[in-house]
Structure 1
């Protein structure tokens, strides 16, 4: 427990939060902060007293978005056009580059700092989501709420396994896989929240094109030219639609294909070369470089991790079956 507000704010800033001013904190301030990294994610668990805080925009570091998950207490958060009243399990998306205001009872919460590029969320969508309550008791929001809390608790508990050059390499790959699951659930929860609102015409067309791309990722001929023709627009118009988005059309196709490869390599028995070819990567060397650059680890390390975990699980089951037979 930290009994000094200045020390608490320094640790909060070191964890990646923008500067906050607590207008209610007095001599009896008591707070707790714990920070853990999980792959590209940073999870910050906080216990705070009754607070009224304001935070200035921190435009210097726009790499991350923040997903705050309430565990105990109630908080009102104002940011952008949003004004969210959060209770236990609820969550909200925040942008550290924008001013924010909190008004909270004594509370416990977990904040997940997520690299913007990992969520593939468009600037216009961020504007619509910032400061909006997401129900943490039902639907995908409930899964995010539970997983964020569990990840914050167990992020440092990854096991060792054989088949890697070192235990640290295995733990790194396992952490990256777990982080990918958290990120995917967050993306689903945000998309569900967006579904409650009517998109603008350009956004509607972008979403339609994104769905078209998603359905044809295995087509080796998928290209901006073909996509534009299928939607009766020019290639210039297509690129214009995506000019303010995190990824260009070509980069979106490449990224989603890599993510499909990662998902298939995680749960399947096919070789890296076969999976890469299935999703449009005919050059195995080029695919390996792209995969490592995108995810921070190699495709072969992911396959090795999956096989090691499968072998370990089968061995454990066989031993359990043997113990059961011995008891009988």
Structure 2
């Protein structure tokens, strides 16, 4: 349900932002009167909220992180005013039209020295479908006009902010999930551009193999051996190549399949599709095996996951 919560005292604001997002420490800037508004809704696993407030500082401290919470990412798209985001030894200026991602499992600070408006997407980290370690290198990095995909994502998110009061039900949930997928594509592009493998040739090889795997997930026979054969290399060479990425080919295949299954299971437009059919759709035709893999990855069976959405 779309809600608008407005306060005109800083003590009320501190309680509001901690309940709307994750526990935070907030501090006023100056002695001027304060007011703030959080408006938005929870669409499936994605919180979509617009924040408008007077100048202040927000901190997610080590102590608050240690208290425990679901690992989440937050993406901010600055709509008006300026701010500064700091995390992991990096900082970025949030200008109108700029966006940045940050991790609620690590300390961060946000400083706003003037009135501002910002759109915030908050969601469990697994929804991005990207290794948290790779995303960690991109927190507090600005994306916007200098990033090709960022230039495409920004107008979509601005439209999403404008549509917030009308977003509801299955369509709203699907649109919010699409927003996270699009943001994930932007981040994946940046991760690839910053590839840390020893040379460009190996990086291009890994990217080509990853693309091949994504294109063949529906094949139940997809396995490291078939991937190696398709790229005219030995299985040993394939494992050596992926040893630099931090995960094996088998892990990548399994993770990508489960990500696609999870996405379809939480899609309200696919509630009519049996759980077993979704597993089979992504190369996991054995229902019991699919259920075991899903439980190991997400802590519950596919059926229980669907019911929890």
TM-score, normalised with respect to structure 1: 0.69
Q: For the structure 1 residues 210 and 260, does the alpha-carbon distance in structure 2 shift closer, same or farther, using more than 3 Å as the test?
A: farther
Contact 1:217 1:257 in 2 (8 A): no
Q: Which residue of 1 aligns with 2:194?
A: 197
Worse overlay, 15-24 or 88-97: 15-24
Cα distance in 2, alignment partners of residues 86 and 7 from structure 1: 25
Whole-angstrom distance in 1 between the partners of 2:288 and 2:195: 43
2:143 paired with 1:134 = yes
Give the 3-state SS of the residue equivalent to 2:137 in structure 1: helix
Instruction: Call closer, same or farther: CA 1:237–1:266 in 2, change over 3 Å.
Output: farther
- TM normalised by structure 2 equals 0.73
Among candidates 11, 14, 19, match of residue 16 of structure 2: 11
Q: Name the counterpart of 2:124.
A: 115
In the TM superposition, what is the alpha-carbon distance from 1:254 to its structure 2 partner? 1.9
Structure 1 CA distance for aligned equivalents of residues 246 and 71 of structure 2: 19
- Shift of residue 80, structure 1, vs aligned partner: 0.9
Q: 1:255 aligns with which of 255, 258, 277?
A: 258
- The equivalent residue for 1:72 is 80
Structure 2 match to 1:154: 163
Q: Deviations over 1:162-184 (max 9, x none)?
A: xxxxxxxxx2x323321221111
Q: Displacement, 1:285?
A: 9.2
* RMSD, aligned CA: 4.1
Which of 173, 179, 185 pairs up with 1:182? Answer: 179
Q: In 1, Cα distance between the equivalents of 2:253 and 2:303?
A: 15
1:3-25 per-position Cα deviation (integer Å, ceiling 9, x unaligned)? 21121111111112341332515
Select between 49-58 and 199-208 the one with higher mean Cα deviation: 199-208
Distance 1:295 1:136 in 2: 42
Q: Hey, what's the Cα distance between the residues in 2 that align with 1:194 and 1:240?
A: 17
How far residue 186 of structure 1 moved from its aligned partner, in angstroms, is 0.6
Q: Kindly tell me the number of residue pairs found equivalent between the two proteins.
A: 283
Q: CA deviation at 1:122?
A: 1.1
Task: State the Cα distance separating 1:249 from its structure 2 match.
Answer: 2.9
For 2:303 and 2:173, how far apart are their aligned partners in 1?
12
Matches within 5 A, 1:41-56: 41-56=46-61
Shift in Å, 1:36:
1.1
CA distance in 1, matches of 2:223, 2:116: 50
Structure 2 Cα separation of the partners of residues 43 and 18 of structure 1:
17
CA distance in 1, matches of 2:72, 2:115: 26
Larger radius of gyration, structure 1 or 2?
1
